[in-house]
Structure 1
């Protein structure tokens, strides 16, 4: 069994265990590895434009906003914009700040009939450390020292 198959099988198992409708869920380091070895895989950053400017971006990620700031208004054109920006055969890995909005984006994508939709658990900044009030201290893309740049 190849590494791509191992990563996707692990992601599928997580999704099945949790009864999620999308294809799978990946930890940040697994998503990064898949991006490196699986041609056509796309990382879709669903954070708001404001978050990209304030908190940085992952090089090579596509941006399709799930909700807009201010007000966290749902993007009514999300699925159309996603379809216009991606190949229908691509593996789509959705990421946000903590993994919650990307989860909803992956569900919407799967519910719309797109098959290869994956959520990146933990997101870019990870869970909030309640002891310090900060993110990036417990988990997430940045915590795992994966590539990102300040926007």
Structure 2
């Protein structure tokens, strides 16, 4: 696979539903998980794997990221769908995963909240929430 392909939130949902080995990995920070919310994939008998790409509050890259993927039991056979706030950190995480031997890495386009709208708010234009997919507060 050349590069990390972008995949829409709706396509991600369908892939998670169809593939028992597909995993959603939320790479945001614990603060974002706690205060913004999480994708809710319980209807698919799954839970998102929470592994931060950057560590809050310093926002340094998590140097143990690939190790965390392995410790979670993931292998090259898993399809990994990375999601962050808007799609930037998840793309970096997907590239790191591919470099670490996980070839089936995908970036959830527009992330959980998507870009800001005309009023400067996220969550209404694009992304997981704006696509009407299930989510919950932690």
Same fold (TM over 0.5): yes
SS of equivalent to 2:13: helix
- The structure whose residues are more often strand, as a share, is 2
More contact order relative to length (CA 8 Å, sep ≥ 6): 2
2:126 is aligned to: 139
Segments of 5+ residues of structure 1 without an aligned counterpart are: 1-11, 13-19
| 1:21 and 1:111 in contact (8 A); partners too | no
The match for 1:84 among 59, 67, 71 is 71
| 2:39 and 2:128 in contact (8 A); partners too | no
Question: What is the deviation of 1:83?
Answer: 1.3
Count of matched residue positions in the alignment of Structure 1 and Structure 2: 131
- The structure whose residues are more often helix, as a share, is 1
**Runs of 4+ deviating beyond 3 Å:** none
SS of equivalent to 1:118: strand
RMSD: 1.3
Structure with higher Rg: it is 1
The match for 1:111 among 91, 99, 102 is 99
TM superposition score normalised by structure 1: 0.82
Q: What is the alpha-carbon distance in structure 2 between the residues aligned to residue 82 and residue 26 of structure 1?
A: 20
Question: What is the deviation of 1:143?
Answer: 0.4
